[in-house]
Structure 1
Amino acid sequence: MGNPRNGLTDSSDWGCDMHGRDLATRGASRRGFMKGGALTLVGTSVIPAFLKRSVLAEMTTAATNNKKLVVLFQRGAADGLNIVVPYREKNYYAMRSSIAIKQNEVLDLDGFFGLHPALASFKPLYDAGHLAIIHAAGSPDMTRSHFDAQDYMESGTPGVKVTEDGWLNRALQAEALKGKPSAFRAVALGTQVPRTLQGKVPAIAINNLADFSVAGRGPQTSPISNAFQAMYDESTDAVLHGTGQETFEAVRMLKAADPSKYQPADGVAYPNTPFGNSLKQVAQLMKANLGVEAAFSDIGGWDTHQNQGNVNGQLANRLKEFSETISAFWKDMGQDAENITLVTMSEFGRTARQNGTGGTDHGHANVMFVLGGQVKGGKVYGKWPGLANEQLNEGRDLTVTTDFRRVFGEAAYKTLGSKNMDIVFPGAQINPKQFLEFL
C-alpha cells in the first residue's frame, strides 16, 4: 500500500480502488454524480430539456479524463531559501545573520531541509505523500528583471521575447482531445487572461464569479462577459458558435447557483484575502463540473528587499496565507483532489546573503511545490547545488539545477496528456525520460 490520499489508498492493482470496486464502474458512477451535481446545483425547473442534454454531453466528455491542472504564480520572486530551508548548510546561517530560520524552528522534512514554520499547514500534506518539493529550480536565463523573468516563465521560452502564447495554452493545444472541449476548459482568476494562458485555445478570466454575467442577456454586463461572448460571436465556425451559445446557458446555470452563497466543504475555511477567494472560486468552478482542465491564479507580495523577517514578519505572513489557502483548496475538493495537480512557481529566487536592510535582493534558483492525488510526495526532488561560496551562482545566488520547464512539462504530460513537449516548450528539448518522476 502506498500513502493514503484524501481518504483513498494507492494500490498496486490499478484495476480497482481500495474497496475492490471495478474502476470502470466507479467511473460510471462518478459521471452520474457529475450529472446530478450539475443539475442539483441550480435545480431543473429553469433549464430546457434540450439544454440539459447539451450541457451534460459536454460534462461527460470532460469526465473521460477528469484530470485538472492548477498553476499558481508567486509574483515578486519568493525567497526559496527561507521557504524550504537547507538548515544543515552552515553557510546559510553565516550569510543570513538576522533573517535565517533557526534549526530548532524549522519543520523538518528529511534531516536536511525543513519548512518555514509559517508553512505548518503544508507539513501534513507532505507527510501524507500529497506534496512534493523541487528545490534549486528555475530558469536558465540570467535576468534579474521581474518583468522579463515573469514573461519568460509564463511563455516558457526563456530569453525569447517574441513568443506570442503561454506554455499552459500550448500544453492544452498539445493535448489529445476527445469530443468537444468546454468553454470553461482554461480559466484564470483575475481581471485578464494571464500570459501563461494566452494563445489559440480560448481562455477566460473571471475576477468574481458573483459578478459574471452573460453579455447582452441581462440588465448588467461586464467587460469580461462581453469579451467572452465576442470570442464566440466572431467565429464563423457553426459548430464552435453552437458550442458558444450552449456555454452562455452554462454560465446561466452557474449564475443561478448564486455563487455568492457558495459553501466550502465542512470544516474548510479559506483566508479572507484575494488569493483565498480566488482558489475558493477555482474549487467552485471545478465542483460545478463545467469542464475546467486548467486553472490559473497568482499571489503577489514576495519582493522582500527590506524587513523580510524570519519566523515572523513580512515573508511569514505571506507564507501563512499562501499555504493555508492551498491547504483549504485541497480539503475543499475532497475526493476530487485525487485528479488534481497543483504547481507553484515564482520568477526567480532571492540572494543567498541578506542585504543591509534586513531583506534579500533578486537572485536565481528557487523552490517549487507540486500537490496532487497522484503526486509522489513526501520528498524533496532535484540536485542540491550547495551554498558554499564557490557553489553560488555569480557568487551570490542559489544555482539552478532543475529547469522549471522540466517541472511544468511533467505536470502537463502526466495530468493533461500533453505528449508533444516540442509544442509546449519549443527549443527546450524536454525529454519525458528525464522527468523527475514526482508524478
Structure 2
Amino acid sequence: MTTRRGFIKSGGLALFGIGIGGIPAFLSEAVAGIKAPGLFQRKKILVCIFQRGAMDGLMAVTPFTDQYLKAARPTLFMSAAKNGNRKPLIDLDNRFGLHPSMSAFEPMFREKQLAIVHGIGSPNNTRSHFDAQDYMESGTPFKKGTASGWLNRAVGLLGHDAATPFQAVSLTSSLPRAFYGDNPALAISNLQDFNIQMRGNQSGANMAAKSFEDLYDKTSSGLLKNTGKDSFEAIKMLQKTDTKNYKPTNGAVYPVTALGNSLKQIAQLIKMDVGLEVAFAESGGWDTHFNQGTDTGIFARNVNDLSNSIMAFWTDMGTLQDDVTVMTMTEFGRTVKQNGTGGTDHGRASCNFILGNDVEGGIVHGKLNPLSVENLEDGRDLAVTTDFRSVFSEVADKHLKINNDKVLFPDWRGEKIGVMKG
C-alpha cells in the first residue's frame, strides 16, 4: 500500500524543470481539477542562511576595545571612533562594534529583534571548509558518516507529515547537506524555472519526465486524488503565480544578488501560503585570504549584501514577522592576526545573527576573553566558547516548538545560552 508520505518520498514530486513553466503536462492536467484555494494552516517558519567560506566574525562584530586585536591587525583593525578616513564601527554596547556596511542591522538590534552570538563554532577543530560545513550541516561534528542533516531531522520532528512538497525548501541549485535525509525536501534554483532537484540524483534530470510519468501510471487515480491533493494544490498555486513580476511589500528593496534573489523567492513562497516551514539559502565569498579590506573591499561588500538582503526580506514580511525567524551560520571564523597579503586565514570561532520577534535581541551573546595569545586556540584563533548546536537547538526548540535534542543533535548534551525568549 502506497502512503502519501511514501508517494512524496518515492520521487513523485521530483520535478526537474520539464516543459514550459517546469510542470509536466500530465501533472498540470491533474492539478487543474483541484478547486480549493489553499489548504495550509500557517505555521512557524525558520529561514537559515549559510555563509560559505568562513566569515571573519571579528570584523563583522568587532571587540573594538581589545588592544590585542588592534595589535594583531595593524591594517585591518577597525575602530568605533569617529575620526580618520575610515567609516567607524557602529557601537552596539561600548564593547562590540557592528561593521559600518551592516548598518541595516542597527535598527533591529536597537529594537531588540536582532541577537548576535559571538565565539560560536564547532567543537571539531578542522579548518577544512568541506569538512566543517559537512559537520555543521549534519549536526554531528565528530561523525562523518551521518546520513541526515539537522534541518531534515528538524522537519521530521515538527509533529506532522508533510501536506505539501514545499514544507522544506532550499533556494539552491542542489539540495544542501542540511536537508539530506528521510523527510521530503526540495532544492529550487529559481521559482521562475521551477527547476527542482532531489539529493543524490544528478543524472535523474534527464530521466525525470519518464520516471515521474511511470510512477503516475502505476499509482491508482484514487490514491493520487486522496493523498496528493494538498501537494498538487501547492504546485497549482505556484504554477499560477507570476513569480517573475513579484512586488515586495512595505517598500522592501532586495539587492540584485544571489542571496537577495533567494530571500525574495522565499518571501514569495511564504506569502503564497504553500506550507513552507523550513527554508535555506546560501551566501558565498567569505574566504578572505587576501585584500579583505575594511570599510570598503570584499568583506564590506559581502556584509552589506548579507544585511541588506535579510532586512529587505524582513521588511517584506510585514505582519508575518511573528511567524518567521532568520538565522545565519558559517563553518568557522578567521585568524586573529592578519596575514601578509592583507587578509585572514582559516580560524575557529565566528559569530552569527538571529532575527525574529521571539529572539532575546539587542544583546551580543556568548563569551569572548581578551585576545591575548594565552587565550587563543592554538595560539592563533578566537576560541570556540559556544557550541553551534546550543544555538541551533534553542532556535529550533523555541521557534518551531521542537523538543527532542537527542534526535536533532544526537551527540550533544550541552546547555542553551538564552538567545530565545521563553
- What TM-score do you get using the length of structure 2 for normalisation? 0.84
Which residue does the alignment assign to 1:148? 131
Aligned with residue 56 of structure 2, among 60, 79, 88: 79
Instruction: List aligned pairs for 1:234-313, cutoff 5 A.
Output: 242-244=226-228, 246-313=230-297
Report deviation, 1:50: 6.8
Which residue does the alignment assign to 1:68? 45
CA RMSD across the alignment: 2.7
Assess, with a 3 A threshold, how the Cα gap between structure 1 residues 425 and 232 changes in structure 2: closer, same or farther.
farther
Work out whether residues 139 and 404 of structure 1, in 8 Å CA contact, stay in contact via their aligned partners in 2: yes
Report deviation, 1:248: 3.2
Q: What amino acid maps onto 1:290 in structure 2? A: V
Assess, with a 3 A threshold, how the Cα gap between structure 1 residues 395 and 280 changes in structure 2: closer, same or farther.
same
**Could you report, residue by residue, the CA deviation over 1:268-327 in whole angstroms, capped at 9, with x for unpaired residues?**
110001111000000000000001000000010000000001111110011111110000
List gaps (5 residues or longer) in structure 2.
Answer: 1-28, 82-87, 198-203
Between the aligned partners of 1:420 and 1:88, the Cα distance in structure 2 is 40
Report deviation, 1:191: 1.1
**Could you report, residue by residue, the CA deviation over 1:85-125 in whole angstroms, capped at 9, with x for unpaired residues?**
00011111100000111232110111100100000000011
Matched, 1:347 2:331: yes
Between the aligned partners of 2:405 and 2:165, the Cα distance in structure 1 is 24
Matched, 1:116 2:116: no
Assess, with a 3 A threshold, how the Cα gap between structure 1 residues 241 and 50 changes in structure 2: closer, same or farther.
closer
Partner-residue secondary structure (3-state), 1:210: coil
Matched, 1:418 2:402: yes
Aligned with residue 100 of structure 1, among 54, 77, 88: 77
Assess, with a 3 A threshold, how the Cα gap between structure 1 residues 168 and 357 changes in structure 2: closer, same or farther.
same
Work out whether residues 286 and 292 of structure 1, in 8 Å CA contact, stay in contact via their aligned partners in 2: yes
**Could you report, residue by residue, the CA deviation over 1:38-68 in whole angstroms, capped at 9, with x for unpaired residues?**
xxxxxxxx99897233x633x13xx2xx210
Assess, with a 3 A threshold, how the Cα gap between structure 1 residues 48 and 195 changes in structure 2: closer, same or farther.
closer
Assess, with a 3 A threshold, how the Cα gap between structure 1 residues 180 and 162 changes in structure 2: closer, same or farther.
closer
**Could you report, residue by residue, the CA deviation over 1:334-354 in whole angstroms, capped at 9, with x for unpaired residues?**
010111111100000000000
Identity of aligned residues (%): 46
Between the aligned partners of 1:231 and 1:123, the Cα distance in structure 2 is 51
Work out whether residues 421 and 430 of structure 1, in 8 Å CA contact, stay in contact via their aligned partners in 2: no
Which residue does the alignment assign to 1:14? none
Instruction: List aligned pairs for 1:104-253, cutoff 5 A.
Output: 104=81, 105-177=88-160, 181-212=163-194, 223=205, 226=208, 230=212, 233=215, 242-244=226-228, 246-253=230-237
Work out whether residues 150 and 179 of structure 2, in 8 Å CA contact, stay in contact via their aligned partners in 1: yes
Assess, with a 3 A threshold, how the Cα gap between structure 1 residues 103 and 48 changes in structure 2: closer, same or farther.
closer
Between the aligned partners of 2:275 and 2:214, the Cα distance in structure 1 is 17
Work out whether residues 71 and 296 of structure 1, in 8 Å CA contact, stay in contact via their aligned partners in 2: yes
Which residue does the alignment assign to 2:379? 395
Report deviation, 1:435: 3.9
**Could you report, residue by residue, the CA deviation over 1:369-410 in whole angstroms, capped at 9, with x for unpaired residues?**
100121121011112232111100100000011100011101
Instruction: List aligned pairs for 1:37-76, cutoff 5 A.
Output: 51-53=34-36, 56-57=38-39, 59-60=40-41, 63=42, 66-76=43-53
Q: What amino acid maps onto 1:259 in structure 2? A: T
Q: What amino acid maps onto 2:167 in structure 1? A: R
Assess, with a 3 A threshold, how the Cα gap between structure 1 residues 311 and 214 changes in structure 2: closer, same or farther.
closer
Between the aligned partners of 1:48 and 1:198, the Cα distance in structure 2 is 28
Partner-residue secondary structure (3-state), 2:97: strand
Assess, with a 3 A threshold, how the Cα gap between structure 1 residues 227 and 279 changes in structure 2: closer, same or farther.
farther
Report deviation, 1:418: 1.6
Work out whether residues 321 and 356 of structure 2, in 8 Å CA contact, stay in contact via their aligned partners in 1: yes
Between the aligned partners of 2:266 and 2:325, the Cα distance in structure 1 is 13
Partner-residue secondary structure (3-state), 2:353: strand
Q: What amino acid maps onto 2:175 in structure 1? A: V
Assess, with a 3 A threshold, how the Cα gap between structure 1 residues 224 and 81 changes in structure 2: closer, same or farther.
farther
Work out whether residues 171 and 281 of structure 2, in 8 Å CA contact, stay in contact via their aligned partners in 1: yes
Report deviation, 1:225: 11
Work out whether residues 68 and 370 of structure 2, in 8 Å CA contact, stay in contact via their aligned partners in 1: no
Between the aligned partners of 1:228 and 1:290, the Cα distance in structure 2 is 26
Report deviation, 1:182: 2.1
Matched, 1:330 2:307: no
Partner-residue secondary structure (3-state), 1:277: helix
Partner-residue secondary structure (3-state), 1:275: helix
Between the aligned partners of 1:97 and 1:360, the Cα distance in structure 2 is 12
**Could you report, residue by residue, the CA deviation over 1:167-189 in whole angstroms, capped at 9, with x for unpaired residues?**
01111112222x75322100000
Between the aligned partners of 1:231 and 1:343, the Cα distance in structure 2 is 38
Between the aligned partners of 1:416 and 1:232, the Cα distance in structure 2 is 37
Between the aligned partners of 2:210 and 2:69, the Cα distance in structure 1 is 49
Which residue does the alignment assign to 1:4? none
Which residue does the alignment assign to 2:10? none
How many residue pairs get aligned? The number is 379
Between the aligned partners of 1:284 and 1:201, the Cα distance in structure 2 is 23
Between the aligned partners of 1:186 and 1:228, the Cα distance in structure 2 is 25
Assess, with a 3 A threshold, how the Cα gap between structure 1 residues 194 and 183 changes in structure 2: closer, same or farther.
same
Between the aligned partners of 1:421 and 1:225, the Cα distance in structure 2 is 39
Q: What amino acid maps onto 2:154 in structure 1? A: A
Q: What amino acid maps onto 1:185 in structure 2? A: Q
Q: What amino acid maps onto 1:202 in structure 2? A: P
Report deviation, 1:77: 0.4
Q: What amino acid maps onto 1:375 in structure 2? A: V
Work out whether residues 164 and 234 of structure 2, in 8 Å CA contact, stay in contact via their aligned partners in 1: no
Matched, 1:427 2:415: no
Between the aligned partners of 1:373 and 1:361, the Cα distance in structure 2 is 35
